[in-house]
């Protein structure tokens, strides 16, 4: 039994211990408390910009609700891709029973996340923001389809987890937002543990068979995917729902603002360091977050 197999046994046991009914887990209020926040202001996409100080208190409150909805919608759409991919991997010839058992829990929890995120978006935002087209890796080398899949999964999960942690720890936020964020974080901490171990195994197996050109192409794709994924956080539809003018111009201005660039770099640092360590990013120490 490998270290990853033993990890999967522990993760499966923890998932069974923490099993919950998503339809009974939360108390769905009629609205987000007007005296509580939908998202910590410091992690909203307009914080630190010249627009922020011009927003009314009502607009700041609505921005937090909608940006949490946008975060949840983006994660939901990412999890749709994960559920499809994980389902296709079940009972594959190379999967051990321990990995297969944990993937069942992984799938169950991702489905629950889609339910709770969808409910929040429909109830408090009025809709689920549509999915944005994200670039998927083209198979260039052996094993690259699986490596690309789990790298994509880690970007969606790890970036989103930062915002979950900030919200769940902030007592200024509405209790429902904090609880959804907490439940998601607890599940995602297990998913990310699996992702790190399994992706490391895949890289040790397949990367020695890649030539330098394949490594560079994958590294370029992964950087590009992270940048495009960041772009989905700055959603003109959110700004329009808050009642702001020129939402597309506002998106570009917000993404270029030093406060926002610094936030993205802070959030991405741990993951880009990991990708560099296992050989998926070339010269990651020189990496910058593009606008």
Q: What is the pLDDT of residue 231?
A: 94
Q: Among residues 234, 242, 229, which one has the least CA distance to residue 260?
A: 234
Which residues of the chain carry a pLDDT beneath 70? 133-140, 284-291
Q: Look at the pTM and tell me if it is higher than 0.85.
A: yes
Contact in structure between 176 and 30 (CB atoms under 8 Å): no
Determine how many CB atoms are found less than 10 A away from the CB of residue 127: 11
Phi-psi region of 59 (alpha: psi -120 to 50; beta: other; left: phi over 0): alpha
Structure confidence at residue 139 (pLDDT): 58
Phi and psi based region of residue 243 (left: phi greater than 0; alpha: psi -120 to 50; beta: remaining) = left
What pLDDT, on the 0 to 100 scale, is given for residue 131? 86
**Per-residue pLDDT tens for 113-148?**
999 999 999 999 999 999 876 666 565 678 899 999
Q: Does domain 3-286 have CATH number 3.40.1190.20?
A: no
For residues 156 and 222, is the Cβ–Cβ distance under 8 A?
no
Q: Which residue has the tokens 């609205």?
A: 31
Output the pLDDT for position 40.
98
């Amino acid at each position: 039994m490998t270290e990853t197999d033993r990890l999967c046994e522990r993760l499966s046991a923890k998932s069974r211990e923490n099993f919950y009914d998503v339809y009974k887990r939360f108390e769905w209020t009629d609205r987000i408390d007007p005296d509580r926040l939908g998202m910590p202001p410091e992690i909203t996409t307009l914080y630190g910009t010249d627009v922020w100080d011009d927003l009314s208190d009502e607009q700041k409150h609505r921005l937090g609700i909608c940006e949490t909805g946008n975060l949840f919608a983006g994660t939901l759409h990412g999890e749709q891709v994960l559920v499809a991919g994980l389902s296709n991997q079940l009972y594959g010839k190379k999967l051990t029973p321990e990995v297969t058992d944990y993937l069942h829990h992984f799938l169950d929890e991702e489905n629950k996340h889609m339910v709770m995120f969808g409910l929040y978006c429909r109830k408090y935002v009025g809709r689920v923001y549509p999915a944005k087209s994200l670039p998927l890796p083209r198979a260039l080398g052996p094993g690259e389809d699986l490596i690309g899949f789990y790298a994509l999964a880690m970007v969606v999960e790890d970036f989103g987890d930062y915002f979950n942690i900030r919200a769940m720890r902030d007592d200024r936020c509405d209790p429902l937002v904090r609880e959804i964020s907490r439940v998601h974080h607890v599940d995602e901490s297990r998913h990310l543990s699996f992702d790190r171990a399994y992706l490391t195994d895949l890289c040790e197996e397949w990367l020695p068979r890649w030539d330098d050109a394949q490594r560079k192409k994958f590294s370029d794709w992964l950087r590009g995917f992270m940048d495009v994924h960041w772009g989905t956080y700055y959603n003109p539809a959110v700004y329009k729902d808050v009642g702001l003018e020129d939402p597309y111009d506002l998106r570009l201005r917000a993404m270029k603002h030093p406060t926002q660039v610094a936030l993205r770099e802070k959030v991405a640092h741990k993951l880009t360091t990991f990708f560099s360590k296992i050989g998926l990013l070339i010269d990651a120490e020189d990496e910058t977050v593009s606008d």
